[in-house]
Chain A
Amino acid sequence: MPLRLQPKLRDDEAVVGGIGNTHFDLWASGQRPQNYYMLGSMGLAAPIALGVALAQPARRVFALEGDGSLLMQLGALGTIAAVRPKNLAVIVFDNGLYQITGAQPALTAKGVDLVAMARGAGLAHCAWATDEAHFEALIDTALAGAGPLFIGTRTDNQPPAGVTERDAARIRIRFMDSLQVAPRASAQTDER
């Protein structure tokens, strides 16, 4: 699905890739400085993306999260629904299993419907992408600033197509540079 997402990105949209296949596939589908690759902190792709979206309301922000990760932080759906950032879309890759740890089944393989949970959390604009064309149409909706949007996609159980680099500080600095944020000048302070 990142292969379908990245060509749609025009210039400066920020993308936060959750751990596991989401950020591995994001990396493999083409690296851009506006992509933030997480090292750990399973379940925090959507909260991190929410923070970026709050800081930069004019920028479109995407979170890519796996089903196993989202299951760890379901409250985040309610938080996003409460804050209602127009510039944020959460995309969940649901393969029904914990692929990188040995393909153990996740609760999503046993009946948990994450789009239904998102709707129940108060996210009015949420949908399962029925096919690639529908997925691309949902991305267009997000790019139009009609968020918050929650998009569910069914993915396969293939291993990731690549592996990200692991230098968290470098990833963070490159991401901030691409967002035109200078770390120590990110806000004016009274330097008394």
Chain B
Amino acid sequence: MVPEDTAARADESWDETVARVLKVNAIRLITYVPDRALAPLIARLHADDYFTVIAPAREEEAVGIVAGAYMGGLRGIVLMQTSGFATLPNVLASLALPGQIPLLMMISERGTLGDFQLGQAMVCRIMRPVLETLGIEHHVIARREDVEFIVDRMIKQAYATQAAAEAA
């Protein structure tokens, strides 16, 4: 039996679903470094007063802001693309993981099959090995109908286990 909340709402776009699930989980702070695939979500979050949306210069900064906000009682998530993730291992390993901070990341997986940019394709290969090495829970959203389940459960898992989590 499929739980009610895992059934995709037919009239919703994927970005609408993500925004709704973020709200359900009280994720109010969004920090991001731009990405074309995430653009509809970013535009939607900007347009919604529920969210505080900050676009810093670099992904490390975005992680620092969300980590600080968590410690102050405000939940957040970092949006980025794979090349941005490649700048993060140091701060994941020295801030989020040793401090047991439930850092949420949503990463647009660029450079995968069908993305022909060489720069993206090569840097893309480091993402999963780094996540594995650091022991960070990660899940791929490959189908529209998985958006709600993966985003919602990823958030709940991260907060319940005091651990970083990533959805690509």
CB atoms of A41 and B60 under 8 A apart: yes
Chain B: minimal CB distance from A46 (Å):
8
Q: How many A-B residue pairs have CB under 8 A?
A: 150
Question: Per-residue 0/1 for B138-167: is the Cβ within 8 Å of any A Cβ (1 yes, 0 no)?
Answer: 000000000000000000100110100000
Which residues from A are CB-within-8-Å of B76? 51
Scan B89-101; emit 1 where CB is below 8 A from any A CB, else 0: 0110111001111
Give the shortest distance, in Å, between A36 (CB) and chain B (any CB).
Answer: 7
B75 interface hit (Cβ, 8 Å) = yes
Nearest A residue (CB) for B21: A190
- Once A55-B72, A187-B73, A190-B25 are accepted as A-B contacts, the answer to whether A171 and B54 lie under 8 Å apart by CB is no
Do B95 and A41 touch across chains, with their CB atoms under 8 A apart?
A: yes
Chain A residues in 8 Å Cβ range of B26: 187-189
B25 touches A47 (CB 8 A): no
A21 nearest CB across to chain B (Å): 17
Interface segment, one of B40-48, B62-70, B111-119: B62-70
From B100, which residue of chain A is reached at the shortest CB distance?
A169
B130 within 8 A of A: no
Let me know if A175 is at the binding interface, CB within 8 A.
yes
The reply to whether A79 and B54 contact each other, CB–CB distance below 8 Å, is yes
Q: Establish whether residues B61 and A75, one from each chain, have CB atoms under 8 Å apart when the complex forms.
A: yes
How big is the A interface, by class? 35 or more
Q: Is the CB of B73 within 8 A of A51?
A: no
A94-125 vs B, Cβ < 8 Å mask (1 yes, 0 no): 00000000000000000000000000000000
Q: Which chain A residues lie closer than 8 Å to B156 at the CB level? A: 189
Interface residue ranges, A against B (CB under 8 Å): 14, 16, 36, 38-41, 43-44, 46-56, 59, 73-76, 78-79, 82-83, 168-169, 171-172, 175-176, 179-181, 183-184, 186-190, 192
- A-contacting residues of B (Cβ < 8 Å)? 5, 24-29, 52, 54, 56-58, 60-76, 90-91, 93-95, 98-101, 156, 159-160, 162
